[in-house]
Amino acid sequence: MTAPSLSGRKVLLIVGGGIAAYKALELIRLLKKADAEVMTVLTKAGAEFVTPMSLAALTGHPVRQALFMPEDETAMGHIELSRWADLVVVAPATAGLIAKAANGMADDLASTTLLATDKKVLLAPAMNVRMWLHPAVQANVARLKGFDGFHGMAVVGPDDGVMACGEFGPGRMAEPPVIFDAIARLLAGPDGRPLAGKTAVVTAGPTFEPIDPVRGLTNRSSGKQGYAVAAALAELGAQVTLISGPVALDAPVGVNRVWVEAATEMKAAVEAALPADIAVMSAAVADWRVDGVASGKIKKKPGGPPSLALIENPDILAGVSAPGPRRPKLVVGFAAETSDLEANARAKLSRKGCDWIVGNDVSDEVFGSDGNAVTLFTQDGAEPWPRQSKTEVARKLALRIADHFKA
Q: Report whether 255 contacts 270 (CB < 8 A).
A: no
Q: How many CA atoms lie within 13 A of 151 on its CB side?
A: 11
Please compute Rg for the chain using Cα positions. Answer: 24
> Annotated catalytic, 165?
yes
Active-site option among 165, 311, 343, 347 = 165
Centre a 10 Å sphere on the Cβ of residue 309 and count the other Cβ atoms it contains: 8
Sequence-ordered list of residues with C-beta below 8 angstroms from that of 317, at least 6 positions apart, any chain: 281, 331, 333, 352, 354
Centre a 10 Å sphere on the Cβ of residue 293 and count the other Cβ atoms it contains: 14
Q: How many CA atoms lie within 13 A of 127 on its CB side?
A: 18
Q: How many CA atoms lie within 13 A of 357 on its CB side?
A: 26
Q: Which residues of 146-180 are buried (b: 16+ CB within 10 A; e: fewer)?
A: eeeeeeebbbbbbbbeebeeeeebbbbbbbbebbb
Centre a 10 Å sphere on the Cβ of residue 386 and count the other Cβ atoms it contains: 8
Which of 279, 272, 288 lies closest to 219, judged by CA?
A: 288
Q: Report whether 159 contacts 170 (CB < 8 A).
A: yes
Distance CA 74, CA 70 (A): 6
What one-character-per-residue DSSP string does 296-336 give? Answer: SPPPP-TTSSPP--EEEPP-HHHHHHSSSTTS-SEEEEEEE
Q: Where in the sequence numbering do the catalytic residues fall?
A: 165
